[in-house]
Amino acid sequence: MNIALIAHDQKKDSMVNFVIAYENILKDHNLFATGTTGKKIMEATGLKVHRFQSGPYGGDQQIGAKIAENEMDMVIFLRDPMAAQPHEPDIQALIRLCDVYKVPVATNIATGEILIRALERGDLQWRKFIKESKHD
């Protein structure tokens, strides 16, 4: 599965810790991330991560394009709800695309853990049928 990992500045350490905690599950999947988040994950774990631009420089939109092409199966986006984000419209567009293309998205650690456990159990295999049908 293709998994996008995104974290706002105040959540990057939480994302790194999350990936370390679930490295045994994530190592079997294709990981994608925005710039700095991906770099921190790779440095901490040694996992291969395809890095896009930083979020404010278009990384969210690059991941959004993968979602629109049905090439992303899950998004874990640790958002900082306490800080205003100058690229908030891009963030909302990304979440909207997840809804349109039926891509599971977590915006906090609790939901992220639920998605990772579902991934581990094989509960997300339905994504391959969504990819084949494109739209419904």
Q: Where are the beta strands (DSSP E) in the chain?
A: 2-7, 30-33, 49-51, 74-78, 105-106
pLDDT in tens, 69-79: 999 999 999 99
CA-wise closest residue to 98 among 80, 71, 125, 117: 71
Please determine, for residue 35, whether its predicted confidence score (pLDDT) is greater than 60: yes
Taking the model in full, what pTM does it have? 0.91
Q: How many domains does the chain have?
A: 1
Say which of 9, 13, 28, 60 is annotated catalytic.
60
Q: Exposure of 18 by Cβ count < 10 A (0-12 exposed, 13-18 middle, 19+ buried)?
A: buried
| Catalytic annotation present for 60 | yes
Q: CATH code at 64?
A: 3.40.50.1380
So what's the pLDDT on residue 39? 97
Residue 136 lies in a domain: no
pLDDT in tens, 87-105: 677 789 999 999 999 999 9
Highest mean pLDDT, choosing among 5-14, 82-91, 124-133: 5-14
